[in-house]
């Protein structure tokens, strides 16, 4: 397990997590899927998730979300054999960005 701090940017696969001072106004709260929020969908069903019990998720656009960790929260990758280790975030607000890659057709979201 990787332990994050509030001073650095972190990555889990195609997901980048940046500590921020506050979540901007006008973002839309995301509905949890069961007990979790899916912070990054995977084309193979191995999503990146956080517990809805200790966090709130907000959508700011197709590639940008914000996470409010009310207490320590684990970003987990749902795969029987972990491709990405769990990332433990301290309480606070986080900006979540999906990675992009260039293709001959233009930019597209990275899928892991």
Residue 112 belongs to a domain: no
Residue-level pLDDT at 13: 79
Helix (H) or strand (E) holding 93, with range, is: strand 92-98
Q: What is the pLDDT along the chain (112 residues), one digit of tens a residue?
A: 888 889 999 988 788 999 999 999 999 999 998 999 988 866 666 688 999 999 999 999 888 999 999 999 999 887 655 567 889 999 999 999 986 544 566 444 455 4
Residue 107 belongs to a domain: no
Q: Which two tokens stand for residue 92?
A: 């606070």
Residue 105 belongs to a domain: no
Residue 108 belongs to a domain: no
| Residues spanned by the domain of 69 | 2-97
The CB density around residue 105, as the number of other CB atoms within 10 Å, is: 6
Residue 63 belongs to a domain: yes
Residue 9 belongs to a domain: yes
Residue 110 belongs to a domain: no
Residue 10 belongs to a domain: yes
**Tally of domains in the chain:** 1
Does the model's pTM come out above 0.85? Answer: no
Instruction: Determine whether 87 is exposed, middle or buried from the number of CB atoms within 10 Å of its CB (0-12, 13-18, 19+).
Output: buried
């Amino acid at each position: 397990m990787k332990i994050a701090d509030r001073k650095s940017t972190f990555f889990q696969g195609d997901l980048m997590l940046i500590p921020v001072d506050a979540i901007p106004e006008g973002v839309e709260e995301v509905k949890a899927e069961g007990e979790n929020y899916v912070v990054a969908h995977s084309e193979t069903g191995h999503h990146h998730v956080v517990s809805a019990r200790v966090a709130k998720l907000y959508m700011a656009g197709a590639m940008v979300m914000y996470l409010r960790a009310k207490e320590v929260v684990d970003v987990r990758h749902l795969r029987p054999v972990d491709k990405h280790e769990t990332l433990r975030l301290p309480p606070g607000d986080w900006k979540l960005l999906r990675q992009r890659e260039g293709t001959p057709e233009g930019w597209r979201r990275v899928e892991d």
